[in-house]
Amino acid sequence: MRTYRSLPVALLAALALTACQDGTGTKDEGAAQSGQASATVTATHPAEDGNSGKDTNGTNGATSVSGTQGTGSAPGTQGAKAKEAPKGTTPTRVSCNGSNTTVTAQPVRRPVNHMLITVKNTGSKTCDLTYYPVLRFDEMQWVPQPIKDSKPQAVTTLAPGESGYAGVSLSAADGSGEWGTTSHKLTIGFQGRTPNSDGGPLAIPTLPAKGVYYDSTLTVTYWLRDRDTALTY
At 15 the pLDDT is 53
pTM exceeds cut of 0.85: no
Reduced to 3 DSSP states, what percent helix, strand and coil does the chain have, rounded to the nearest 5?
A: 10, 25, 60
Short-list 209, 165, 145, CA closest to 183? 209
Taking the C-alpha atoms of residue 216 and residue 170, their distance in angstroms, rounded to an integer, is 9
Per-residue pLDDT of the chain (233 residues; tens, 9 = 90+): 444 444 444 444 455 454 444 444 434 443 334 333 333 333 333 333 333 333 434 433 333 333 333 334 333 333 334 444 455 545 567 999 999 999 999 999 999 999 999 999 999 999 999 999 999 999 998 989 999 999 999 999 999 999 999 999 999 989 899 999 999 999 999 998 776 577 899 999 999 999 999 999 999 999 999 999 999 99
What is the domain partition of the chain in residue ranges?
Answer: 9-73+92-230
Taking the C-alpha atoms of residue 130 and residue 63, their distance in angstroms, rounded to an integer, is 13
